[in-house]
Amino acid sequence: MKPNSDYRRTYPISWEQLHRDSRALAWRLLDLHYFKGLIAITRGGLVPAAVIARELDIHLVETICISSYDWQDKKGEAEILKGVDGDGEGWLLIDDLVDTGRTAKLVKEMVPKAHFATIYAKPAGRPLVDTFVTEVSQDTWILFPWDAESTFVQPMAGQGR
């Protein structure tokens, strides 16, 4: 997280929690209807998509490749690197997180009929998602396991406010 960022909190996610939360999302999607395939939004949606594809027994997996977050600057322009054919009808669209909704709006324009599901949703992007598991505050930086490594952390009480 950048020192001068808009984020006041950090919510670290372990691999185990990400797996549990991905399965919880699959559980919510299980009875909706049959999906002919799954579209993962890269890169964040790749790991959850793999878990969800397994749980829902989906073998047809596609990707939409968008670069919108630079690890140093979250405000970069979204760049479509790879799209998909069609309007998304019958497809399940998976991402790890909907934050401001900028990427979600772009993707929903590409595949407006896809069912859009994320594990985590922030208030600004939540209206764009059809299904999600956990809502977190807009000022929280979700630290995914692929962006972190295990180190000692000082107890909260000793960090001063």
Residues noted as catalytic: 95-96, 99
SS3 (DSSP) at 24: helix
Integer CA distances (angstroms), 11 to 88, 91, 120, in order: 32, 30, 11
- Dig out the tokens for 40 from the structure: 């993962």
Cβ–Cβ < 8 Å for 85, 62: no
Give CA–CA dist 41/83, Å, rounded.
Answer: 10
The residue count of the chain comes to 161
